[in-house]
Structure 1
């Protein structure tokens, strides 16, 4: 399986979105994939996919072993099972652009970690903004978040060169925490500046619910503590880069409630981005 990508999709009450997500996998120009759909709600997604006319022999089905155990536990179940050399994360309400896997696999020839720009959309797939759009480039851990300022579920990685498991004890920011684990053995990632991943801002999700601020701040502070303790084994310059981003982001989280009240519908990314730019200009 020289170029097989295991796509990991936790499914919790995903009946209204999974068909669209799975269709985006079926439409990939790179056909060497396995789509692992892991039920975290006791639902029979194998039968569901058959009923939708979307079943494919490359689809695999697992269960988290419980109900509502969470995305981190569910993703880890798949990571303990898959044997494919490459892996990718795809939430059950997101989509891949048709060339996402093809371009990521090409970049994995030279890099252990590949990220892509995001097309951020609402639940009706209306475009809201892009994140991380620009030139293709290698990034150090300290540079990554300054380019891709929110969401880290777009990652594709070589499991022989970078490995990790999702943190089950954190309420938020588990995608970034996982990426930092991958950086322990991969000094650089490669960022594709084309928006190849549709990220859906879903109301009520872990990162987009109305009362998420406290959990975000707590999780960001925990990652900051781990960085400064040497937990990820990063160079000091990389620690400083990620820590500087998190410091600005934590302050932005604390101010976001008032900003949202003053401007209903404000995206956190639009709230955060000018603060990051001001921080860079002040250096």
Structure 2
């Protein structure tokens, strides 16, 4: 069976981070991969990596077809070109732990979608917190976010059993919206509770910046509307579970500005988590 994984990495002004990101792919214990590095800034990343001593035939270079078209459009460019059954998302400033692909591919033997816990780090790779750590478990669309409460860029999926495209009309929450699309044909996912994906939380990161609340609220509200109008054709209990999560998350957004003013280092995840605990469903 073909176990090749196409890793999709959009690149926008990624020169400060891309070498480390690519090195984490080269270090994978599962060697059957293609890295699709899609430039959205006109940079010749093949030459840039070559100057850093990185050349590997498994790395494919392409362009979004413009400048600043956005991560969703850029990811879709790759999705329209790849031919592998398996695909994964890796942002140009994140890293994969060495066993990420090996364990995900094993999980894909029985599940169409595999997610993993995250190791949230600063941009100098200092550990901040874990998200979604714990036992491996099968999650439904209605329980996934209660375990992995933020950031869904750790996806690996089987495109033969669940396929989707990113929505470029949404400014935020595009990974969650994409996952909801995948759940249309995959009733559950396998969540690996070992942190296998380094998520770099920058001061300007979407869920931690001071000027992005409006975009987060608009995107969460739109996903909520789509859920409630049957857009994803999910079972009622899954709609209820995701709706409950997003409702609490929107309440947290409304309170986050004041909380951040009182504690400037407060992560949105640390702000949200206590609000979820009392209403968490059993996976």
Same fold (TM over 0.5): yes
TM-score normalised to the size of structure 1?
Answer: 0.98
Q: CA deviation at 1:278?
A: 2.5
2:66 equivalent in structure 1:
66
Separation in 1, partners of 2:165, 2:280 = 32
Separation in 1, partners of 2:24, 2:249 = 32
2:236 equivalent in structure 1:
236
Q: How does 1:132-151 map to 2 (within 5 A)?
A: 132-151=132-151
Contact 2:208 2:268 in 1 (8 A): no
Contact 1:172 1:207 in 2 (8 A): no
> Residue 62 of structure 2 aligns to a residue in which SS?
strand
1:261 aligns to 2:261 (yes or no): yes
Separation in 2, partners of 1:80, 1:120 = 30
Q: CA deviation at 1:174?
A: 0.2
> Residue 196 of structure 1 aligns to a residue in which SS?
strand
> Residue 101 of structure 1 aligns to a residue in which SS?
helix
Contact 1:117 1:191 in 2 (8 A): yes
Separation in 2, partners of 1:50, 1:206 = 31
Q: How does 1:36-75 map to 2 (within 5 A)?
A: 36-75=36-75
> Residue 83 of structure 1 aligns to a residue in which SS?
coil
Separation in 2, partners of 1:136, 1:280 = 17
> Residue 279 of structure 1 aligns to a residue in which SS?
coil
2:81 equivalent in structure 1:
81
Contact 1:227 1:239 in 2 (8 A): yes
2:5 equivalent in structure 1:
5
Q: CA deviation at 1:77?
A: 0.2
Aligned length, in residue pairs: 281
Contact 1:89 1:154 in 2 (8 A): yes
Gap regions ≥5 residues in structure 1: none
2:98 equivalent in structure 1:
98
> Residue 142 of structure 1 aligns to a residue in which SS?
coil
Separation in 1, partners of 2:174, 2:121 = 21
Separation in 1, partners of 2:55, 2:231 = 42
Contact 1:152 1:175 in 2 (8 A): yes
1:225 equivalent in structure 2:
225
1:107 equivalent in structure 2:
107
1:14 equivalent in structure 2:
14
